[in-house]
């Protein structure tokens, strides 16, 4: 039976896309992981990997086709030894569905998604899926160009044009308002825009000469999301110290067997692995709060905070517990490199069920983080330090790591947070159990 290859959902809000280019031709052998095609959404072009192996028997959707609904069969793969005649069999309508993307169940995870997008568009089979990407920003070409020039985030503006279309005048008003003020979201008028601190703001009086650098789009997003998080989420944090020496020994042992220095496992890789395992063991911390319900995620997708020259971004490693240390290492490195190069796709930085922020490499002993909504928890990792420790009744010297877990109290209570931290401590201090 030939395998139908389905149009993938490459971002949480994607319901359809353009099949931009086939990277394999009919008759080509296909191995799992091979790049099959380029799929274009309104936000980005992404490559689609083959999940199954076989021979590309037939291309059902020619390249250049727009508006291909998610889950539409786009090609048929022949399994090894299968005859080409099998291609003419009825398409398997109830064929293999891709696993539902985890974001489909999260609330408006992306900051630019309007409220109400939490009713995530369920990818429906068949071509009749209505276009429903409500995160698309409508702006005139001139407005787009001017916004780019002034570093204004279009998503933060409300347009005065038909159906909220952003026009030149909206950009000019935003520039007028200080060039930096995010205008209120749809529904408010320009007149209600919050005042931006101006040069004559008394708060700024008496400051030494300074250069005002207009906000980048990323800075604006950081400001908006973290302000909302710190203001709206009742949060607390739980701190523990863990004995890092067993994990360091395991790491040394593992890396002794890895020839290429670049492939060697880092402390962070092991902490990611341990956190994933701890979340599996304590799933009450792998949650998000929404007004209507607490979302319990069936998969652990961990976002890693990556510092950039002018901000930070949190690319996501999917299904951490299912991945080997070497895979986690490779993926973390690849995502960090793409993040620093500014080449992450929306798929790569959206979603995530839990975040880890590691400042150990900066020598920070201990810190707490602001929650990354709508995720329920964020783990802050300090530096492993040689500190005096008490072993039995003896004072000794050991490598100690301070961990802080900040949680959203609306969905994670203190005892649950403590249980998670105990579990994490247990895994780090007895890391061989990670191999189980």
Partner 1 sequence: MAEQRKAEPAFQVAVVGSGPGGYVAAIRAAQLGLRTAIVEAAELGGICLNWGCIPTKALLRSADIYRTLKQADSFGLKTGEVGADLKAIVARSRQVAGQLSGGVGHLLKKNGVTVIRGRAQLDGPGRLAVRGEKGTESLAAEHIILATGARARTFPGLEADGEHIWTYRHALKAETLPKSLLVVGSGAIGIEFASFFHTLGSQTTVVEVLDRILPQEDAEISALMAKSLKRDGMTLHTGTTVEKLEVRDGGVVATLARDGKQHQVTAERVLLAVGISPNSANLGLEGSKVKLDRGHVVTGPFGVTGEPGVYAIGDLTAPPWLAHKASHEGVLAAEHIAGVKGLEPLDPLRIPGCTYAHPQVASVGLSEDKAKAQGHAVKVGRFPFIGNGKAVALGEAEGLIKTIFDADTGELLGAHMIGAEVTELIQGYAIAMGLETTEAELIHTVFPHPTLSEMMHESVLDAEGRALHF
- Where in the sequence numbering do the catalytic residues fall? 409
Q: Which long-range contacts (CB under 8 A, 24 or more apart) does 200-203 make?
A: none
Q: Which residues of 208-221 are buried (b: 16+ CB within 10 A; e: fewer)?
A: eeeeeeebebbbbb
Residues in the chain: 436
Calculated CA dihedral for residues 325, 331, 332, 334, nearest 10 degrees = 140
Cα gap 183→167, rounded to integer Å:
13
Stretch that binds partner 1, among 157-165, 328-336, 344-352, 392-400 (CB under 8 A): 157-165
Query: Which residue, 171 or 287, is less far from partner 1 as judged by CB?
Result: 171
Least Å from the CB of residue 140 to partner 1: 3
Tell me: does residue 152 bind partner 1 (CB under 8 A): no
3-class DSSP state for residue 357?
strand
Other C-beta atoms closer than 10 Å to the C-beta of 382 total 21
Cα gap 58→78, rounded to integer Å:
9
When computed from its CA atoms, the radius of gyration of the chain, rounded to whole angstroms, is 25
Tell me: does residue 371 bind partner 1 (CB under 8 A): no
Task: Tell me the β-bridge partners of 238.
Answer: 405
Among 21, 115, 145, 249, binds partner 1 (CB under 8 A): 145
User: Among residues 381, 314, 308, which one has the least CA distance to residue 351?
Assistant: 314
Least Å from the CB of residue 67 to partner 1: 20
Number of H helices, E strands in the chain: 8, 19
CB 369 within 8 A of CB 406: yes
Stretch that binds partner 1, among 68-76, 80-88, 160-168, 212-220 (CB under 8 A): 160-168
Stretch that binds partner 1, among 156-164, 246-254, 273-281, 373-381 (CB under 8 A): 156-164
CB 351 within 8 A of CB 374: no
User: Among residues 404, 317, 301, which one has the least CA distance to residue 358?
Assistant: 404
Tell me: does residue 296 bind partner 1 (CB under 8 A): no
Among 59, 167, 233, 288, binds partner 1 (CB under 8 A): 167
Among 168, 225, 296, 333, binds partner 1 (CB under 8 A): 168
Tell me: does residue 150 bind partner 1 (CB under 8 A): no
Among 162, 256, 363, 388, binds partner 1 (CB under 8 A): 162
Least Å from the CB of residue 158 to partner 1: 12
Query: Which residue, 146 or 403, is less far from partner 1 as judged by CB?
Result: 146
Tell me: does residue 141 bind partner 1 (CB under 8 A): yes
Tell me: does residue 190 bind partner 1 (CB under 8 A): no
Tell me: does residue 175 bind partner 1 (CB under 8 A): no
Stretch that binds partner 1, among 25-33, 137-145, 270-278, 393-401 (CB under 8 A): 137-145
Among 65, 118, 140, 196, binds partner 1 (CB under 8 A): 140
Token code pair at residue 369: 């983080």
Other C-beta atoms closer than 10 Å to the C-beta of 7 total 29
Tell me: does residue 202 bind partner 1 (CB under 8 A): no
Tell me: does residue 217 bind partner 1 (CB under 8 A): no
Tell me: does residue 187 bind partner 1 (CB under 8 A): no
Q: Residue numbers of the site for partner 1 (CB under 8 A)?
A: 140-143, 145-146, 149, 160-162, 167-168
């Amino acid at each position: 039976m030939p395998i139908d290859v389905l149009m993938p959902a490459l971002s949480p809000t994607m319901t359809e896309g353009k099949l931009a280019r086939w990277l394999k031709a009919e008759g080509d052998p296909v191995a799992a992981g091979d790049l099959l095609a380029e799929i274009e959404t309104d936000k980005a072009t992404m490559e689609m990997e083959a999940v199954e192996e076989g021979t590309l028997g037939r291309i059902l959707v020619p390249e250049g086709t727009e508006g291909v609904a998610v889950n539409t069969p786009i090609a048929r793969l022949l399994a090894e030894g299968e005859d080409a005649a099998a291609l003419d069999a009825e398409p398997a309508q109830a064929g293999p569905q891709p696993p539902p993307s985890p974001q489909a169940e999260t609330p408006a995870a992306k900051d630019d998604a309007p409220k109400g997008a939490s009713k995530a568009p369920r990818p429906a089979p068949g071509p009749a899926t209505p276009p429903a990407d409500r995160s698309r920003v409508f702006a005139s070409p001139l407005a787009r160009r001017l916004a780019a020039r002034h570093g204004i985030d279009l998503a933060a503006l409300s347009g005065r044009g038909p159906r909220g279309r952003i026009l030149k005048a909206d950009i000019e008003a935003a520039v007028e308002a200080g060039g930096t003020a995010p205008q209120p979201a749809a529904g408010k008028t320009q007149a209600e825009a919050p005042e931006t601190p101006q040069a004559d703001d008394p708060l700024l009086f008496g400051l030494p000469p300074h250069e005002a650098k207009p906000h980048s789009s990323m800075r604006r997003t950081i400001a908006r999301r973290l302000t909302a998080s710190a203001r709206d989420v009742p949060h607390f944090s739980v701190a523990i110290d863990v004995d890092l020496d067993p994990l360091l020994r395991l790491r040394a042992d593992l890396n002794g067997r890895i020839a290429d220095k670049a492939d060697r496992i880092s402390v962070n890789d092991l902490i990611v692995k341990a956190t994933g395992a701890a979340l599996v063991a304590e799933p009450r911390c792998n949650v998000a709060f929404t007004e209507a319900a607490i979302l319990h995620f069936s998969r652990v997708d961990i976002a890693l905070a990556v510092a950039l020259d002018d901000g930070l971004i949190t690319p996501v490693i999917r299904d951490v517990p299912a991945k080997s240390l070497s895979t986690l290492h490779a993926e973390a490195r690849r995502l960090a490199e793409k993040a620093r190069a500014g080449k992450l796709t929306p798929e790569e930085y959206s979603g995530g069920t839990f975040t880890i922020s590691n400042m150990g490499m900066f020598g920070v002993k201990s810190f707490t983080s602001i929650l990354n909504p709508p995720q329920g928890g964020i783990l802050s990792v300090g530096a492993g330090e040689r500190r005096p420790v008490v072993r039995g009744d003896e004072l000794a010297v050991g490598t100690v790591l301070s961990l802080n877990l900040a949680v959203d109290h609306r969905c994670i209570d203190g005892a649950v947070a403590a249980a998670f931290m105990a579990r994490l401590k247990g895994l780090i201090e007895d890391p061989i159990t990670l191999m189980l």
